[in-house]
Chains A and B, each alone.
Chain A
Amino acid sequence: KRAQVPKPCSLRKLEVTVRELKLGYESDETVLLRYCSGECTAYRHNYDIAMAHVMRTRFRKKGRKVSNGPCCRPTAFEKGFSFLDNNSRYHTIQNISAKHSTVS
């Protein structure tokens, strides 16, 4: 079996119902959710490499923790998403779907 090559940080898609978002809305409408996922190893700065070493050699004894490298997160969200709930009320939710993913 070949070792899995980690996929780099990128925008992915997922079909979910509004109900599944667990934001308290009772709606069976389906929405395409964009989210960020993947590895950020390619984006490490000297800072991250140095900190990884310093963490092992100097900080371990003190029990200090430092974030180990950049995270894969949205840098922008799509505009609000509107839908009808099961009680015939419309709602708009903001910042629910990612527009760009970048390492931050």
Chain B
Amino acid sequence: KGFHCPDAERNCNPCLDAAKACNLNNSCKKQRSAYIATCSREDPNKGESCSKKRCHKALRMFLDRVPSEFSNRLLFCPCQTEGCAERRRQTIVPDCSYKDKDKPNCLELRRVCRQDSLCRSRLADYMVNCCMTPPTASTCPNQDNHQACLASYTRLIGTDMTPNYVDSSFSNWTISPWCTCKGSGNQEEECMNFLRYFTDNTCLRNAIQAFGYGIDNVQSK
């Protein structure tokens, strides 16, 4: 690995390189085209722009069938420009798979997720493998098991708890599911604790950075 940019290279875009690597592989190209086509197709049955359900299924299929060396490069490419970070944000076709008309409360979204066996187990898996180990809260469980955290994160894509980069910032990126803790009432603390598993998770952050830069022991940012 180690696909980070040489300092002088201004046009360097590791996310574009990841797309190229996928397109040059017959199976990856086919599977990627399949989910993109599904997720950007208008749904004729409803007035909606796409079928989220079909898009989620297509995304899960892509991530199931394509070797993680391709999908991880697309999802976790290290960016030093906004154009790169925007491409990274777009990987999962967020307009269909991520965004929604309303932004639900995170505890409500968690409740919806737990009603679905697939989402429930994948979320539980994520909470275990990307858990922050106090008191240092800087590494992943199981001897810095970054791979397990990235794999669990990836398996959440295509569920109701689909996470994504919230914007195209490259220096200060944040990951979150499509939910908010506004209007949590007396459960605000519980909600924030849950949301922080995505937005402020040092294990996940280190795992993504370690993947991008090909180093396996990056210190917390």
Contacts and interface: CB of A to CB of B under 8 A. Distances in A.
Interface of A: 15, 28-32, 78-84, 86, 88, 90, 92
Contacts of A28: 13, 16
Nearest to B25: A32
B36 A90 contact: yes
Contact of B20 (A30, A78, A79, A86): A30
A62 B86 CA distance: 63
Interface of B: 13, 16, 19-20, 23-24, 26, 29-30, 32-34, 36-37, 39-40, 83, 86-87, 90, 93
Given A15-B24, A83-B19, A90-B93, A31 B29 contact: yes
A30 B37 contact: no
29 contacts: A15-B24, A28-B13, A29-B19, A30-B23, A30-B24, A31-B23, A32-B23, A32-B24, A32-B26, A32-B29, A79-B30, A79-B33, A80-B33, A81-B23, A81-B29, A81-B33, A82-B32, A82-B33, A82-B34, A82-B36, A82-B37, A83-B19, A84-B87, A88-B87, A88-B90, A90-B40, A90-B93, A92-B37, A92-B40
Q: Main secondary structure on chain B at its contact with chain A? A: helix
**What are the 10 closest A-B residue pairs judged by CB atoms, nearest first?**
A82-B36, A82-B33, A30-B20, A90-B40, A92-B37, A31-B23, A32-B24, A29-B19, A90-B36, A82-B37
A84 B29 contact: no
A54 B16 CA distance: 55
